[in-house]
Amino acid sequence: MLPAILGGTPIRSNPLPYAKQYIDDNDCRAVSEVLKSDFLTTGPMAKKFEEVIADYVGAKYAVAFANGTAALHGACFAAGIQPGDEVITTPITFAASSNCVLYLGGTPVFADINKDNFNINIDDIAKKITKKTKAIIPVDYTGQAVDIDALKNLVKGTEIVIIEDSAHALGTKYKEKRVGGLVDMTEFSFHPVKTITTGEGGIITTNNKEYYTKLTNFRSHFITRDVNQLENKDGGGWYYEQLDLGFNYRITDFQCALGISQMKKLDWFISRRKEIVNIYNEAFTNLDGVILQKNEGFSDTVNHLYVLKLDLPKLKADRKEIFQALIAENIGVHVHYIPVYWHPYYQKLGYEKGLCPNAEDLYNCMLSVPLFPAMSNDDIRDVINGFYKIISYYRK
């Protein structure tokens, strides 16, 4: 079959996106009820949403933020990151995972990934730990949990804080337990492409009360009315104090109402994602020219992304040509992610290309395949047919 990019007929007539939110009438009702109530900004719905998420992931506390990036900024603040401190993370992630370190004047240090599961490599983290290392931000990339026990062993006896970036991994279990309560702090994102959405939104879950208080204050200019925290205990009914430098990172109550409503569909979101991933795995295992991401036994993964590696030596085209050919078939592939330190801003900070060879190799041959719960069985079939068509055409 002639690829559409060369003048053939595309596999489908309308573009299929790589990800899309799922919003139903219950979500709309939940939001509009709050719009007619007394609270628009962070109020009772935010509190309830935090309880729902904390309860779901098995953490004592949760603090909701305006977005996942703000939540990571808060977590880095609570961990005490300051100029001179180093924080280790992966280059195969959204820039937020390391930008949050830069916001506080800290230095992101990139550890390489594993070739087979694409998550951060724990041995490489070990090599990059120095006296200045203050925290590690591992990312549950595509939704697959990092090896949390191995990480905890690595930092045992040190003061190094683990902030898990689980933006992709709501619902994922590590050794039977959901991620969210297993390390010092865990971040989730509710951007529309993520497992549930609040439009924009994010949250930190933790079992540590001190972090909880800091995160809550940080979200709102570090202004408090809590008498236990005030320096002047006798200020009067109007009185409040700003105790440190915080931000306005509040999330609205109508967004949190959306989040609560979305949580009611989470079981279905998860089972549908898993169903699609199983169909893909079966179809792509037999497609010569692509390589699947390994899933480790300790991770019961809820995939946010489905990432394939192109087996480039077997193909006559590079990733860019394959990508464009699939887009021409109306299959909305994407690439997650450009190694963070390749971006011009990071290059100007002095990070050099070649730093993490496995990450760079993966970047050169990876594609994200459309994955979202509202995909129909026809959509799934189109994706598989599109890949078979293009990979077969370009196979040597």
Token pair listed for 229? 């925290």
Token pair listed for 15? 């573009």
Catalytic residue among 194, 214, 309, 389: 194
Q: Does 93 bind ligand PLP (CB under 6 A)?
A: yes
Residues 6+ apart with CB under 8 A from 202: 64, 65, 66, 67, 68, 69, 70, 71, 72, 167, 187, 188, 189, 190
Could you say which DSSP state residue 13 is in? Answer: S
Which position among 31, 111, 125, 139 is part of the footprint of ligand PLP (CB under 6 A)?
A: 139
**Residue of 146, 183, 192, 133 whose CA lies nearest to 162:** 183
Rank residues 59 and 139 by Cβ distance to ligand PLP and give the closer one.
Answer: 139
Q: Does 203 bind ligand PLP (CB under 6 A)?
A: no
Say if CB 322 and CB 391 are below 8 A apart: yes
Which position among 4, 11, 30, 68 is part of the footprint of ligand PLP (CB under 6 A)?
A: 68
Per DSSP, the residues of 53-109 read HHHHHT-SEEEEESSHHHHHHHHHHHTT--TT-EEEE-SSS-THHHHHHHTTT-EEE
Binding span for ligand PLP by CB under 6 A among 32-40, 92-100, 145-153, 348-356: 92-100
Rank residues 139 and 145 by Cβ distance to ligand PLP and give the closer one.
Answer: 139
Site for ligand PLP (CB under 6 A): how many residues? 14
Q: Does 97 bind ligand PLP (CB under 6 A)?
A: yes
Which position among 86, 165, 253, 360 is part of the footprint of ligand PLP (CB under 6 A)?
A: 165
Token pair listed for 128? 């990059």
Residues 6+ apart with CB under 8 A from 10: 4, 328, 329, 330
Which position among 21, 67, 133, 262 is part of the footprint of ligand PLP (CB under 6 A)?
A: 67
Which position among 12, 73, 168, 219 is part of the footprint of ligand PLP (CB under 6 A)?
A: 168
Phi/psi at 175 (5° precision): 45, 55
Token pair listed for 227? 């008498």
Rank residues 317 and 367 by Cβ distance to ligand PLP and give the closer one.
Answer: 367
Residues 6+ apart with CB under 8 A from 234: none
Binding span for ligand PLP by CB under 6 A among 41-49, 65-73, 172-180, 327-335: 65-73
Rank residues 4 and 79 by Cβ distance to ligand PLP and give the closer one.
Answer: 79
Rank residues 165 and 382 by Cβ distance to ligand PLP and give the closer one.
Answer: 165
- Answer yes or no: 233 catalytic: no
Dihedral of the CA atoms 194, 198, 204, 207 (nearest 10)?
-100
Q: Does 69 bind ligand PLP (CB under 6 A)?
A: yes
Q: Does 96 bind ligand PLP (CB under 6 A)?
A: yes
- Which residues between 337 and 376 bind ligand PLP (CB under 6 A)? none
Residue 332 C-alpha from the chain's centroid: 20
| Min CB(120)–ligand PLP separation in Å | 12
Binding span for ligand PLP by CB under 6 A among 27-35, 90-98, 366-374, 379-387: 90-98
Q: CA 95 → CA 46, 106, 158, distances in Å?
A: 26, 15, 27
Strands 161-165 and 61-65: unpaired
Rank residues 139 and 260 by Cβ distance to ligand PLP and give the closer one.
Answer: 139
Q: Does 138 bind ligand PLP (CB under 6 A)?
A: no
**Residue positions counted in the chain:** 396
| Min CB(65)–ligand PLP separation in Å | 8
Which position among 167, 322, 326, 391 is part of the footprint of ligand PLP (CB under 6 A)?
A: 167
Q: Which residues bind ligand PLP (CB under 6 A)?
A: 67-69, 93-94, 96-97, 139, 165, 167-168, 189, 191, 202
